[in-house]
């Protein structure tokens, strides 16, 4: 693949998201990650992972490109113990060298969620203090980030480009074009461990209070915020400054 841009330290000197999206429109996930790495350099690139049911695939591809790329994991305080264990399993299995577990600010929790019931009364506010604000803090040193969204997940994700501008930095979506069958092929080919809850019907795993099993025939994300209009936590729909 042709070089996209030399490594630079100033975000203003980076190629535009539109230029990168055109250049990488038909690129493989590994090529997208390599291009992101070449564009901003390892010190300015992060991968954000939930260590959920599909996360092993993107982490595997990233590890094959460079296992030292920083990985940001949002430990919200409401995660399943199985997710925390899966994080540790994947770190060891894939040889990930820089996984950063980021927690919400204690001040925000004490002020806005002292009784730990904000997930019920105002789930958007709960996501803001437990995910959006911690991610904004964690991403401050970086000029670009990688995430695992796919178009086949539907809703707000149906038309995502391979590269976009999140309002502050470049946002690479290496799996935008990947199908569910291709994801499964990565799992099988690499013999990746599955999330411990996947066999119990949890096809998409987030925080405990807002995650339920998915019934046969339902969309994979149907178990997230079930019964509410909410479909996203906010890290992909709000400006991460």
> Which of 92, 35, 28 is CA-nearest to residue 66?
35
Q: What is the token pair recorded at 123?
A: 């789930």
Number of Cβ atoms within 10 Å of the Cβ of 142: 19
DSSP secondary structure string, 158-200? Answer: TT--SEEE-SSSEEE-TTTT--HHHHHHHHHHHTPPPPTTGGG
Of 127, 207, 210, 233, the catalytic one is 233
Is the Cβ–Cβ distance between 35 and 9 less than 8 Å? Answer: no
Residue 233 appears among annotated catalytic residues? yes
Distance of CA 104 to CAs 33, 133, 186, Å?
A: 28, 8, 32
The closest of 169, 175, 174, 173 to 240, measured between CA atoms, is 169
- Please name the residues in contact with 147: beta carbons below 8 A apart, sequence gap of 6 or more: 47, 48, 49, 58, 171, 172, 173, 236
Neighbours of 167 (CB within 10 A): 10
- Kindly list the catalytic residues: 233
């Amino acid at each position: 693949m042709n070089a996209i841009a030399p490594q630079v330290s100033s975000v203003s000197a980076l190629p535009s998201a539109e230029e990168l999206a055109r250049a990488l429109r038909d690129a493989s996930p590994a090529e997208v990650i390599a291009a992101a790495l070449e564009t901003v350099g390892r010190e300015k690139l992060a991968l954000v992972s939930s260590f959920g049911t599909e996360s092993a695939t993107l982490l595997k591809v990233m590890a094959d490109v460079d296992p030292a790329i920083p990985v940001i994991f949002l430990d919200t305080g409401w995660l399943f113990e199985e997710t925390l264990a899966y994080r540790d399993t994947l770190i060891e299995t894939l040889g990930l060298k820089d996984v950063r577990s980021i927690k919400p600010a204690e001040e925000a929790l004490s002020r806005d969620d002292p009784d730990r019931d904000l997930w019920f009364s105002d789930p958007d506010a709960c996501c803001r203090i437990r995910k959006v604000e911690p991610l904004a803090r964690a991403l401050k040193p970086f000029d670009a980030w990688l995430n695992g969204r796919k178009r086949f997940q539907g809703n707000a994700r149906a038309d995502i480009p391979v590269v976009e501008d999140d309002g502050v930095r470049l946002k690479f979506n290496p799996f935008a074009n990947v199908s569910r069958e291709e994801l499964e092929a990565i799992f099988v080919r690499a013999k990746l461990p599955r999330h411990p809850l996947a066999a119990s019907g949890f096809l998409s795993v987030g925080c405990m209070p807002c995650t339920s099993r998915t019934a046969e025939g339902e969309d994979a994300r149907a178990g997230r915020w079930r019964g509410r209009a909410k479909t996203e936590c906010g890290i992909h729909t709000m400006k991460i400054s």
